[in-house]
Amino acid sequence: MKVVIFAGGLGTRIAEETDTRPKPMVEIGGKPILWHIMKIYSQYGFNDFIICLGYKGFLIKEYFMQYFLHNSDITIELGSNKLDVHYTNTESFKVTLVDTGLNTKTAGRLKRVQQYVGNEDFMLTYGDGVSDVDLKKLLEFHKAHNKAATVTAIQPEARFGGMEMGPDGEVISFKEKPRGDGKWINGGFFVLKPEVFKYLDGNMDDTMWEDSPMEHLAKDHQLMAYQHHGFWKCMDAMRDKLELEALWQNNQAKWKIW
């Protein structure tokens, strides 16, 4: 099963990092967050990726073109241009890199990779979010309901903690960073049937996948939510990047299932 990853946005809310590289190439633990996402899928046996490129997409192309070289011990004889590889630590990824336009929105990016997806069910996610979602159970859920689309639903942590106080000011309960207000949100990690492309009719370049396509899927009763109660984190701003880095450095990266 193929995995499509959106990796073309401008990443303006984390401009400290994205001035020189696309957000999926921002590193956590010395590796691009895109690599972390691919490792999650690879752990479940999904190694065939289609990456939707846009902003500074050439850097993602160069990363994968040089991946073997950067992850190998080599001897180079400059006079004869001979290269010997002594040890390599590469992945079993197959990566299709597709330029989907600089300013194209997510629905347009998905439509532009249709020819590479083919006529089978496929997975889709964003190039800036990691999770410990059980992709095997997600896929089983998708196959069981037989609808066109499955989205992983998550309940994000509140940004700030909360307190419940009595009339005299006594703190009755205190909770640091509780779950949000009980609402479920789109956490990415979709499983889709090829029928979803019928919801991408016409020019989709100015349309978000999360707007009219998903709204119409829901209206047609073709969108189901897989509820994930575990770890999920989106690298939306610099504070998120720092939190993810801290988790990685302290061996608390729950998305590291490999």
Query: How much of the chain is helix, strand and coil, in % rounded to 5?
Result: 30, 30, 40
Give the pLDDT confidence of 225-256 residue by residue, as tens digits: 999 999 999 999 999 999 999 999 999 999 99
Q: Which residues are within 8 A (CB) of 143 and not within 5 positions of it... i.e. 6 or more apart?
A: none
Predicted local distance difference test score (pLDDT) of residue 13: 86
| Mean pLDDT, rounded, of the chain | 92
Contact (Cβ atoms closer than 8 angstroms) between residue 66 and residue 160: no
Contact (Cβ atoms closer than 8 angstroms) between residue 152 and residue 139: no
Q: How does DSSP classify residue 24? A: G
- Rounded to 5°, the CA angle 79-65-204 comes to 155
Give the pLDDT confidence of 106-147 residue by residue, as tens digits: 999 999 999 999 999 999 999 999 999 999 999 999 999 999
Least confident of 1-5, 16-20, 121-125: 16-20
Residue environment code for 158-191, b if the CB has 16+ CB neighbours within 10 A, otherwise e: eeeeeeeeeeeeeeeeeeeeeeeeeeeeebbbbb
As its CATH architecture, domain 2-249 has Alpha-Beta Complex (3.90)
Give the pLDDT confidence of 29-55 residue by residue, as tens digits: 999 999 999 999 999 999 999 999 999
Q: Please determine, for residue 162, whether its predicted confidence score (pLDDT) is greater than 90.
A: no
Q: In one letter, which amino acid is 79?
A: G
Distance CA 209, CA 241 (A): 25
Q: Which residues are within 8 A (CB) of 252 and not within 5 positions of it... i.e. 6 or more apart?
A: 246
Q: How does DSSP classify residue 252? A: -
Distance CA 7, CA 198 (A): 23
Distance CA 154, CA 107 (A): 21
Predicted local distance difference test score (pLDDT) of residue 160: 61
Q: Please determine, for residue 95, whether its predicted confidence score (pLDDT) is greater than 90.
A: yes
